[in-house]
Amino acid sequence: MRLSDSIETFIKALMTEEETSVELKRNELAEYFGCAPSQINYVLATRFTLDDGYITESRRGGGGYIRIVRVVNSASQQLTYLINERIGQAITEAEAVRLIAQLVERKMITPGEGGIMRAAVSAPALSLPMTDAMKDAQRARSLKAMLTAVVRQARG
């Protein structure tokens, strides 16, 4: 397991269903993992974003801290946000796969639904004679349609 993955897993393990935030000291965390504080910054910047469902606050200095708060919205609100804001007009295969993995991790979709979605947005599924930009646009439309179906199912 890579260091970034270990740091992410450690932080997420500190959060429970009831406890949706955690406060950490960057230097203590870096010392615990035997890495530079910049590695902690990297994990926070790439794995704990608003798109991932987190708000990260930090205060620098001697008594400085990092507070990570998991945004708690209903699944259909988060999916609606993803459909309307996050996916946009085009999405790469790598971005789509990452987004689907996050949805499975947050239990917003089942692992089976995630597998079907990954297959539908994969390169083999879009192996048509068109440009990469057109494939990314088609991938976004397909992903939005699947997520819309999940929202409808959840509301119904």
Question: Tokens standing for 113?
Answer: 């639904």
DSSP labels, 81-118: HIIIIISTT---HHHHHHHHHHHHHTTSS-HHHHHHHH
Q: What residues does 54 pair with on adjacent strands?
A: 70
Interacting residues of 92 by C-beta distance below 8 A, sequence separation 6+: 136, 139
**Own/partner pairs for 6-11, CB < 8 Å, 24+ apart?**
6/33, 7/33, 7/35, 7/39, 7/40, 7/43, 8/43, 8/47, 8/48, 11/43, 11/48, 11/68
CATH number of 75-155: 1.20.140, 1.10.1200, 1.10.357, 3.30.420? 1.10.1200
**Ranges of each domain in the chain:** 3-70, 75-155
pTM of the model: 0.57
- Digit-coded pLDDT (tens) for 65-79: 888 877 766 666 677
CATH number of 3-70: 3.30.2140.20, 1.50.10.10, 3.40.50.1580, 3.30.56.130? 3.30.56.130
CA dihedral 43, 46, 47, 50 (to 10 degrees): 130
* Backbone dihedral angles phi then psi of residue 67, each to the nearest 5 degrees: -115, 125
CA separation for the pair 137, 89 (Å, rounded): 6
The pLDDT value given to residue 61: 67
- Digit-coded pLDDT (tens) for 106-124: 788 899 999 999 999 999 9
Interacting residues of 73 by C-beta distance below 8 A, sequence separation 6+: 81
CA separation for the pair 94, 73 (Å, rounded): 25
The tens place of each residue's pLDDT in the chain, 156 residues long, gives: 799 999 999 998 888 767 778 888 888 888 999 998 889 889 988 888 766 777 787 777 665 688 887 776 666 667 777 776 778 899 999 989 988 988 888 788 899 999 999 999 999 999 989 999 999 999 999 998 898 888 777 655
